């Protein structure tokens, strides 16, 4: 990444996004439509200091968003890798890992601050799991380069995953081990996994660079060798999951009450945490006939499959069985003067609904479940969201 300052224009570029199979990887149809501005000199440049910001304690942020931090060489490229992924609210270029407060780009580029060029990713965990971000990261860097990335050399271009809590650390470490075990790389994986440090937002002209200066970004990405190298890496890793499909929910740690209220809608919180009941015939999934699976809205744990769903006439989603024998637990419920069997999720202990013995064969059971306790994952999104092991539940000719 060149060290010259580059100004920012308000021009926005239409970017075509191609989501590659399984991992939400992003490719771009690029054209030189930035108006011929030369890439070698400043473009209305600014040398103002970066705007420093501290990340939150833990990965939870306002409005139910979570945060993740990745360093992968030139932050223009790492921002581009995450910005357009479904479920990502924003990716912000900045500096982290060093001792200097509020560093400028020029200071970081000198290699004397200890900072990495990095990207802060804010994402909605109900739409995209942290594991998908890890999958994207490993396919967006050369994890064997101990001196930088491509023709960007120096400690500011080292690769690293900065974890904000123990769950992120465990997942990042597991994904690194999985990458090593693939044998795709001959050299050792040198990417560091480090605790998150204060993150300082980079100057405005660095934000959304891949969109604002598309032609210059394309020339850099191709000229540095990054694009060709990563194309080969992605081909080698095609179909290989670096994050176990079960690890996402098996390693789930239930957030605090405050975090859950931020993560869930009022109705979702009422149902899952307070044993509330939504209105019949006025909920999201009672009449949903699309192929896919239903997961716990809190943890993402798979609970039910559309192949076991039937129309019970009650106005709530109804299933003949859970997706796995131990996907849910049942407990005696004597509330409201009735004796019923309550259904709760195994991992997050979310209230889901009730179990009745009036369902169709072959089970004779009816799992009467609140839509607000569920998130539906369409069949076509199962692989990308880490649920690919359930694709065999559906007709292959329709997949």
* Average pLDDT of the residues in 181-209: 93
Q: What is the CATH number of the domain that holds 188?
A: 3.30.1060.10
CA–CA separation, 334 and 345 (whole Å)? 19
Residue 141 shares a structural domain with residue 98:
yes
Domain boundary among 219, 244, 269: 244
Give 347's DSSP letter.
Answer: T
Residue 153 shares a structural domain with residue 234:
yes
CA–CA separation, 124 and 121 (whole Å)? 10
User: Within 13 A of 222's CA, how many CA atoms are on the CB side?
Assistant: 10
Q: What string of DSSP letters covers 183-231?
A: ---SSPP--EEEE---EEEPPGGGTTHHHHTHHHHHHHHHHTSHHHHHH
Residue 295 shares a structural domain with residue 192:
no
CA distances from residue 21 to 3, 93, 128, 269, 339 in whole angstroms, order as listed: 35, 27, 15, 33, 47
Residue 143 shares a structural domain with residue 186:
yes
Is residue 4 scored above 70 in pLDDT? no
Q: Is residue 214 part of a domain?
A: yes
φ/ψ of 143, rounded to 5, equals -75, 0
Question: How many domains, in total, are found in the chain?
Answer: 2
Residue 333 shares a structural domain with residue 232:
no
Give 144's DSSP letter.
Answer: T
pLDDT of residue 132: 86
Q: Where are the alpha helices (DSSP H) in 237-345?
A: 247-250, 257-263, 266-274
Residue 329 shares a structural domain with residue 221:
no
Q: Is residue 25 part of a domain?
A: yes
| Tokens (6 digits) for 165 | 């809590």
Q: What is the CATH number of the domain that holds 304?
A: 2.170.150.20
77 tagged catalytic: no
Could you tell me the pTM of the whole model? 0.53
pLDDT in tens, 335-351: 888 889 999 998 899 99
Residue 201 shares a structural domain with residue 80:
yes
Is residue 49 scored above 70 in pLDDT? no
Residue 181 shares a structural domain with residue 47:
yes
Residue 323 shares a structural domain with residue 210:
no
Residue 40 shares a structural domain with residue 131:
yes
CB burial of 61-76 (b: ≥16 within 10 Å; e: otherwise) equals beebbbbbbbbbbbbb
CA–CA separation, 75 and 98 (whole Å)? 16
Q: Is residue 39 part of a domain?
A: yes
186, 248, 195, 94 alpha-carbon torsion, rounded to 10°: 80
Residue 262 shares a structural domain with residue 340:
yes
| Tokens (6 digits) for 231 | 């194309």
272, 273, 276, 277 alpha-carbon torsion, rounded to 10°: 0
Q: Is residue 142 part of a domain?
A: yes
Q: Is residue 132 part of a domain?
A: yes
Residue among 30, 69, 74, 352 flagged as catalytic: 74
CB 134 within 8 A of CB 243: yes
Domain boundary among 204, 224, 244: 244
* Average pLDDT of the residues in 230-239: 83
pLDDT of residue 379: 93
Domain membership of residue 169 as a residue range: 17-244
Residue 275 shares a structural domain with residue 228:
no
Q: Is residue 1 part of a domain?
A: no
Q: Is residue 127 part of a domain?
A: yes
368 tagged catalytic: yes
Q: Is residue 4 part of a domain?
A: no
pLDDT of residue 22: 30
pLDDT in tens, 113-133: 999 999 999 998 877 888 889
CA–CA separation, 321 and 369 (whole Å)? 11
CA distances from residue 44 to 47, 112, 210, 213, 226 in whole angstroms, order as listed: 10, 26, 17, 13, 27
pLDDT in tens, 139-157: 999 999 999 999 899 999 9
Is residue 29 scored above 90 in pLDDT? no
Domain boundary among 244, 277, 295: 244
Residue among 368, 373, 374, 384 flagged as catalytic: 368
């Amino acid at each position: 990444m060149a060290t010259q300052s580059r100004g920012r224009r308000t021009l926005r570029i239409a970017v075509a996004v191609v989501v590659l199979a399984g991992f939400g990887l992003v490719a771009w149809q690029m054209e030189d439509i930035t108006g011929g501005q030369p890439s070698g000199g400043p473009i209305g440049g600014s040398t103002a200091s970066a705007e420093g910001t501290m990340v939150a304690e833990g990965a939870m942020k306002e409005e139910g968003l979570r945060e993740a931090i990745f360093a992968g060489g030139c932050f223009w490229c790492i921002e581009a890798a995450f910005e357009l992924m479904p479920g990502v609210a924003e990716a912000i270029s900045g500096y982290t890992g060093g001792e200097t407060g509020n560093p400028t780009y020029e200071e970081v580029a000198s290699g004397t601050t200890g900072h990495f060029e990095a990207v802060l990713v804010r994402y909605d965990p109900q739409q995209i799991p942290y594991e998908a971000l890890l999958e994207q990261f490993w396919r967006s860097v050369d994890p064997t380069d101990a001196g930088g990335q491509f023709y960007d050399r120096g400690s500011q271009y080292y690769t690293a995953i900065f974890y904000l809590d123990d769950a992120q650390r465990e997942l990042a470490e597991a994904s690194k081990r999985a990458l090593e075990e693939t044998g795709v790389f001959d050299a050792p994986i040198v990417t560091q996994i480090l605790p998150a440090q204060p993150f300082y937002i980079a100057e405005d002209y660095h934000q959304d660079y891949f969109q604002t200066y598309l032609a210059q970004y394309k020339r850099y990405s191709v000229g540095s060798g990054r694009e060709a190298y990563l194309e080969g890496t992605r081909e080698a890793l095609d179909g290989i999951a670096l994050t176990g499909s079960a690890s996402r929910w098996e390693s789930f740690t239930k957030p605090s009450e405050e975090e859950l209220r931020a993560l869930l809608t009022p109705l979702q919180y009422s149902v899952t945490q307070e044993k509330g009941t939504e209105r019949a015939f006025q909920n999201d999934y009672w009449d949903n006939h699309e192929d896919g699976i239903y997961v716990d809205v809190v943890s993402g744990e798979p609970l039910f499959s559309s192949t076991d769903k039937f129309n019970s006439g009650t106005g709530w989603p109804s299933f003949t069985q859970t997706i796995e024998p131990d996907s849910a637990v049942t407990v005696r419920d004597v509330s409201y003067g009735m004796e019923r069997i309550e259904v709760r999720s195994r991992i997050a202990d979310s209230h889901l609904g009730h179990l009745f013995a009036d369902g169709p064969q072959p089970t004779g059971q009816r799992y009467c479940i609140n839509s607000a306790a569920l998130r539906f994952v369409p069949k076509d999104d199962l692989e990308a969201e880490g649920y690919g092991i359930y694709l065999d539940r559906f007709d292959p000719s329709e997949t």
